[in-house]
Structure 1
C-alpha cells in the first residue's frame, strides 16, 4: 500500500464529502424520479438480460457431465449487480455528489465489474451450451486475427489506459456532463476496455495465442503505473483538470484519491487472479480427481480445435 503522502507531501487531509452539494457530474441525491428511471432503463435492461441468459446457460451446463462452477455463476451475478448499482438511480443516490461519486462510478464500471464478469468465464460457458452452429462460429472467431490483436495484453492496456487519459486530460469529461449520449458512450468504453484488459491479463476463457505470464505481468504493471500517475497528476492540478469541468478543487482532489487507492485495489485483485491461474497451471495446487496433468496445459489453439471437434 502506498503512503497517503504520495498524492502530495504537504497536502492537508481532505474534508468529508458534502453530500448535500449538487454537481453536474453526478445526479443529486434523493428519491429517484420517473425521468431518472427512464434514462437508466436502457442500460439496466441489457444487464438484467445478460444475468438471466447466463443463469439459464449455467443451469444447463451444471446438468452436464462436467458440471459448472457455482463460484463462476456467483462472479457473473456479482458483476451484473455492480453494473446495475453503478447506473441505477438508487445507486446514484448513495454515492457522494460531484466528481468523487463520478469517480467511484467509473471505477466500478471500468475495473471491478469487468473483473467479476471475466472470472465467470462466459466464453467457456458459451462453447459448452450454445447450439452447435454458434459454437463453431465462436471457435472460428476466437481463431481469427482480430481477437489476437485486441486480446493482446499490451493492446488491451493501451486501450484501457489511453481512454482514461483522453477523458481526464481533454475537454471530453466536461462534455459528458451535458450530453447524456456521450456520457453513456464513455461508460460503455470503460466497461468494454476494462473487460478486454481483464480478459487479456487473467481471463480463464480460451484465448488465441495468449502471451506468457511475463508479458501479462508487464502489461498490468504498465497500466497500473499510468493509472497512478494520472491520479497524482489530477490531484496536483485540481481544479484545472479535467479541463472545463468547473468542479470544486477539494472535490477533485478527493476524486483523485479515490482513483488512486481504488485503482490500487482493483489492480491487486487482477494480479491475484493472474497469479492464481499461473499457480494452478504450474500444478502447485492439487488437481481434482480424474483431472488431466496440469503441469502440461494444452495450448489455446488445441483447446479450440478440441471444442470444434466436440460440436461436430
Structure 2
C-alpha cells in the first residue's frame, strides 16, 4: 500500500494537532459537565456519562496517535484497526455521553431553543433517519473499498483526514440513531432500529468476505494485508455492533414519555418537549 509522504515536520504536526484537538474536546466536555452540576446541583450530571466521553476521546487518541497512526500509513491492517476505532468504537462511547443533552443543560435559554429548532428541522430529521445513517456509515464502505477512492486517500493527506472525519461523524450519527440516549425528534421504534442494525451487521459481513476473497476490491496492498484487514472488519465489526445492540436495549424505556414531567426537563437551554435523558442526573 502506498504510504503518505511524511517529513519530520509533518509527522510532528500529525501527532501534535490531533492530540491538542482531543484535549480541547475533553476539556470542553469537562467544563460543561462542571457547569451543569454547579447550575443545578439537584439535577447534576452523570459521572458515568463523563466517563463515556473520556473513553471515546481515549479511543480516538489510540487511533490517531502513535503507534497505530504510523502503522495505518504503512499497512492496510493498521488502516482497518484505525477505521474500527474511529468509525465504530469511539462513536458509541461519545454518543453514550449524551453531549446534546449536556449542551442543552448549559446553554442560555435562547441558544438552547435555537439548537432545539435545528435538531427538529426537516433536514435534521432526514439525516437522522436510520436508513440515511446506515447508508452514510455502512454503505459508504462499499464505495471506499470497491472503487479507487481508498487508494486516493493513501496518497493525499487532505483526503485521508476527510476520510477520518467521515468515519467519525457517520459513526456517531448511526450510533445516535440506533441507541443514543440523547432524544431524537423522529427516532423510529426499537424493532425498526434493530432491523437497521441487522442490515449493518450483514453488510459488514458481506463486504469483509468479499474483501477477504479479493472480489471486486480495489485496494493497492499485499494480499495478506487485505485479508488481515478483512478479518479485523469482520470480527471487530461484530463486537462493535453487539455493543451497540446492548446500548439500544440498555437505553430502551418503553414508558419513558408517560413518566416525563415538567420537573424533569432541564431548566436552562432545553426547550419544551425535549425530554430528560434517563440516568443523566448525578
TM-score band, normalised by shorter chain: 0.7 to 0.9
Asked if 1 retains the 8 angstrom alpha-carbon contact of 2:87 and 2:168, the reply is yes
Give 1:61's aligned residue: 36
Return the offset for 1:41: 3.5
- Pick aligned residue for 2:221 from 241, 247, 264: 247
Return the offset for 1:45: 2.8
Q: Cα deviations across residues 17-47 of structure 1 (Å, max 9, x unaligned)?
A: xxxxxx535899xxx9543121344433332
- Provide closer, same or farther for how the CA distance between residues 310 and 250 of structure 1 changes in structure 2, counting only shifts above 3 A: closer
Does 2:94 correspond to 1:117? yes
Asked if 2 retains the 8 angstrom alpha-carbon contact of 1:26 and 1:92, the reply is no
Asked if 2 retains the 8 angstrom alpha-carbon contact of 1:25 and 1:99, the reply is no
Asked if 1 retains the 8 angstrom alpha-carbon contact of 2:104 and 2:266, the reply is no
Higher RCO structure, 1 or 2 (CA under 8 Å, sep 6+): 2
* C-alpha distance in structure 1 between counterparts of 2:270 and 2:90, whole Å: 28
What TM-score do the two structures reach when normalised by structure 1? 0.79
- Pick aligned residue for 2:186 from 199, 205, 209: 209
Does 2:24 correspond to 1:49? yes
- Pick aligned residue for 2:243 from 269, 284, 307: 269
Asked if 2 retains the 8 angstrom alpha-carbon contact of 1:27 and 1:97, the reply is no
Asked if 1 retains the 8 angstrom alpha-carbon contact of 2:84 and 2:233, the reply is yes
* C-alpha distance in structure 2 between counterparts of 1:45 and 1:146, whole Å: 32
* C-alpha distance in structure 2 between counterparts of 1:89 and 1:53, whole Å: 24
What TM-score do the two structures reach when normalised by structure 2? 0.87
- Mapping for residues 223-302 of structure 1, pairs under 5 Å: 223-237=200-214, 241=217, 243=218, 245-278=219-252, 281-282=253-254, 294=256, 296=258
Return the offset for 1:144: 0.8
Return the offset for 1:50: 1.3
- Mapping for residues 180-199 of structure 1, pairs under 5 Å: 180-199=157-176
- Mapping for residues 65-214 of structure 1, pairs under 5 Å: 65-93=42-70, 97-214=74-191
Q: Cα deviations across residues 85-126 of structure 1 (Å, max 9, x unaligned)?
A: 211234435779511111000010100000000000000000
- Provide closer, same or farther for how the CA distance between residues 67 and 27 of structure 1 changes in structure 2, counting only shifts above 3 A: farther
* C-alpha distance in structure 2 between counterparts of 1:175 and 1:69, whole Å: 43
- SS of 1:66 mapped into structure 2: coil
Give 1:308's aligned residue: 271
What residue ranges of structure 1 are gaps of 5+ in the alignment? 1-22, 284-293
Asked if 1 retains the 8 angstrom alpha-carbon contact of 2:73 and 2:154, the reply is no
Asked if 2 retains the 8 angstrom alpha-carbon contact of 1:107 and 1:262, the reply is yes
What residue ranges of structure 2 are gaps of 5+ in the alignment? 275-282
Kindly name which structure, 1 or 2, has the bigger radius of gyration based on alpha carbons. Answer: 1
The alignment covers a number of residue pairs equal to 269
- Provide closer, same or farther for how the CA distance between residues 210 and 298 of structure 1 changes in structure 2, counting only shifts above 3 A: farther
* C-alpha distance in structure 1 between counterparts of 2:198 and 2:231, whole Å: 19
- Mapping for residues 19-38 of structure 1, pairs under 5 Å: 23-25=1-3, 33-38=8-13
How large is the RMSD of aligned CA atoms in angstroms?
2.8
